[in-house]
Chain A
Amino acid sequence: MDHPSTVHHVDHGHKPHEHAHDLPFWRKYIFSVDHKVIGIQYAITALLFLFFGFSLMMLMRWQLAYPGQPIPLIGNLLGMANAPGGIMLPEFYNQLGAMHGTIMVFLGVVPLAVGGFGNFVVPLQTGAPDMAFPRLNMASYWVFFIGGVVMLASFFVPGGAANSGWTSYVPLAAIATTGQTWWLFGMVFLITSSLLGSVNFITTIVQLRAPGMTWLRLPFFVWAQLVTAFLLLLAFPPLEAAAVLQVMDRVAGTSFFLPSGLVVSGQALTNTGGGSPLLWQHLFWFLAHPEVYVLILPAMGIVAEILPNVIRKPLWGYRFLVYSIVFLGFMSFVVWAHHMFMTGMGTTMSAFFQTTTMIISIPSVVILSAFFVSLYGGSIRFTTPALFAIAFLPMFGIGGLTGLPLGLAATDIHLHDTYYVIGHFHYVVAPGTIFALFAGIYYWFPKATGRQMNRVLGVLHFWGSFICINLVFFPMFIQGLAGINRRLYDGGIQYQHAAPLQHWNVIQGWAAWGLGAFQIFFIINFFWSMKRGRPVTANAWDATTLEWVAAPSPPGHGNFPTPPRVYRGPYEYSVPGAPTDFTPQNQPDTGPNAVRDFHAETLAHDKFKLLEK
């Protein structure tokens, strides 16, 4: 693997595209084992689910803005069981709410952030020819796909889809209609899929790093994906256990989560009782709190890739960012019960979990501060990914800071289950994570397709989305502080304290539909640029990381024409004395330390070779 042999290898002329052309269509694009194809499959499926989940919300927004009025245009298509005469029934509103949450989290954001970006980018950034287990990777996508189909199909079973919230709290969920059982089976598929995926990600990152790609030379995005994969690996199985127990409660008549003496609609349940509803909440949130970090960490990773590239400066405090994100990963396993302050689990428990919750905010603040400090003194290139990535910072900041009052048991008593909670986590996930995901799509689109996305459409998409999304979510803080409950299907019209704030629902409704309309710019841009976008070279953004500097756009089978070798960290922008304002990770040192470094590398190398024998 020394330099002469690299040259030797180039002479042989590895042609990465040849092999891929041999495969029939269905092996190349449908049942592909190539991580790039699987990544794109994940991304497109997840984008479709995101749009579907958002459409459910647009229906709900009509009901909140104009309660009891027939839904225009599509109202009559929703079926007599859901919306007779186009007027939404409360039961249907509950289905939409539960499925909006489930679809956005488990079928939209996570598959896009982890399955899509993780699959496409991680092997390229680590210098790997593919994921460690390509067939497992394919299985992971198709299991996810089946899970998605089960979730969608549940809308058509008697009684409709799950309607007990995305949290499926018992005993409500245990006595809900058949859709809940479908939801549980769908979740088992999704959990299995993310389990297969996370094993694959960790193995890839640990084992397939290119020579010279030491741990602290990994791009921050890869670190984010590594921590995310550990969260998925260790936090999801307890929900799988919980789903099995709830299925038993619903199908086999057990009482894991059903207390004694439960009376439903005036009739006592025949279950033996003795179960614990609180147990479900513990098992659910043991997954679902790390899940929040699964939603946000890849987004932070994407922003960390784009920021240094657009400000042409190194990322500030790379090491601190790495330590912070690892610490964040550990801490995310011990904060779950801050979702349960109101359950009567006791003040000692509350005190413990509010303490850990305050501690976990520290690494998040470190990461966000490092991003802000990075901006200082930079000359920012306002490309489309830059707009979304920079907007992520204040949006995630609002989302994070408004979480602190919820993490303190005393203030949570007032805010619990109000619109304030909805506002808080949507600021984290929607203008936070989803903006970062859009930034990632605009940023890596040239790598995936070899073409640049249109800037004018991108800027329109950004500003439209930015204004609308804030109009949707900011009023929620006002409504929440006024004490409006988050689950009222008519927006609280019969409550006196909600009356002075009803007009916000109309504004939020129009903002939500506007937000939907502005996504049309993105959809047009996406398809138009695939065929007609400006062709780009391998390094479309003058970036430093391996996917840009060592692989063509789009990369072929096996990713790299020659196996890359890494000599430096990921963010060497504007290095004084360097010929360009970016120094690729695979560029050997030519500065005054070059001789010393070369000897160190050679020594390490010989050791490597000796060990290999």
Chain B
Amino acid sequence: MQRKAQIGRAETTTPMEEIIPYTVETRPDTGLNNVKLGIWLFLASEVMLFGALFSSYIILRTGADTWPLGATILNVPLATLNTVVLIASSVTMVMSWASLKMDDVSKYRLYMGATVALAFVFLIVKYFEYTAKFEHGLWPRTSTFLAIYFTMTGLHGLHVVGGIIVNTFLLLPGAKMWKTQRERFTNRVEAAGLYWHFVDLVWIFLFPVLYLL
């Protein structure tokens, strides 16, 4: 019923998404809306991307004559701090979504702002880590360990930047949608949250693999 009503509306100048079913509401037989399925599929491909890199790490390490212990080269306390920062940002991300569920948009702004701020903290710490390495003459070309360290954390850093862009959009211009389509906006925040947890999760694998093992 709902779907038909939407198609009827296409006669005026409604945007394309309006005639597409299940952008907001759940499809009964799959139990999903389009956004949620889409973001999970995207994350599946991200798992394959990082999975390939972790596999490469294993193959390179097992094939190497010598492999340094990460802690002897990298800064474990700073990375621990960064782990705490990212986990905290995941918590604030969930809280921002929960605030929307409870119709409290001012709390949403607070928590989403905190998420973005924590993401910046992560990048700043990472910046100090990187420059400290460069100052000691440690470059990606120095050893295969440093090569995979810079490649994997660099790619992860790009994902953090992507998360900052999306979350800032949802915090500032994108939040206008809250006034007109509350459920749709909440779903968007949920999808961004799933992505953000994934970025967090990748770091939780990267930290022990590169710094501790």
Contact = CB atoms under 8 A, between A and B. Distances in A.
Interface string B1-40: 1111001101111101101111101011110111001100
Contacts of B50: 241
A503 interface: no
A195 interface: yes
Nearest to A201: B41
A72 to B, nearest CB: 46
Interface string A1-33: 100010001001011101100100000000001
Given A238-B52, A612-B1, A233 B10 contact: no
B19 A133 contact: no
A248 B34 contact: no
Interface stretch (A253-261, A393-401, A402-410): A253-261
B37 A207 contact: yes
Nearest to A248: B151
B38 A132 contact: yes
Contacts of A132: 20, 22-23, 34, 38
B59 interface: yes
B128 to A, nearest CB: 21
Interface stretch (B104-112, B138-146, B163-171): B138-146
Nearest to B54: A241
A131 to B, nearest CB: 8
A580 interface: no
A34 interface: yes
A596 interface: no
B63 interface: yes
B141 A271 contact: yes
Interface string A537-573: 0000000000000000000011000010000000000
A238 B48 contact: yes
Contacts of B21: 129, 207-208
A207 B32 contact: yes
A255 B51 contact: no
B140 A272 contact: no
Given A130-B20, A208-B22, A203 B34 contact: yes
Interface in B41-71: 41-42, 44-46, 48-53, 56, 59-60, 63-65
A206 interface: yes
A279 interface: yes
Nearest to B56: A279
A233 B41 CA distance: 8
Interface in A21-54: 22, 33-34
**Which of B2, B20, B53 has the most CB atoms of chain A within a 10 A radius of its CB?**
B20
Range, interface on chain B: 35 or more
Given A34-B16, A244-B151, A609-B1, A276 B38 contact: no
Contacts of A128: 20
B149 to A, nearest CB: 11
Contact of A129 (B2, B20, B46, B142): B20
B119 interface: no
Contact of A252 (B16, B56, B141): B141
Contact of B49 (A134, A241, A276): A241
A282 B51 CA distance: 13
Contacts of B45: 195, 198-199, 233-234, 236-237
B61 to A, nearest CB: 10
Contacts of B3: 1, 563
Given A234-B45, A612-B28, A254 B53 contact: no
B204 interface: no
A21 to B, nearest CB: 11
Contacts of B13: 19, 22
Nearest to B46: A237
B38 A233 contact: no
Interface in B93-146: 139-144
A305 interface: no
A68 interface: no
Contact of A238 (B8, B49, B140, B150): B49
A274 interface: yes
B155 interface: yes
B148 interface: yes
A563 B63 contact: no
Given A16-B10, A611-B28, A256 B49 contact: no
Contacts of B155: 244
B178 to A, nearest CB: 20
B147 interface: yes
Given A14-B10, A208-B22, A252-B140, A234 B147 contact: no
B56 A272 contact: no
Nearest to A560: B7
B73 to A, nearest CB: 14
Contacts of B8: 9, 12, 14
B44 A233 contact: yes
Contact of B147 (A133, A248, A282): A248
12 contacts: A1-B1, A14-B11, A132-B34, A199-B42, A207-B22, A235-B48, A237-B45, A238-B49, A238-B52, A252-B139, A254-B141, A274-B143
Given A132-B34, A207-B34, A245-B53, 17 more contacts: A9-B4, A14-B11, A16-B10, A34-B16, A195-B45, A206-B30, A241-B53, A248-B151, A253-B141, A255-B147, A256-B144, A272-B143, A274-B143, A275-B60, A276-B59, A283-B52, A286-B52
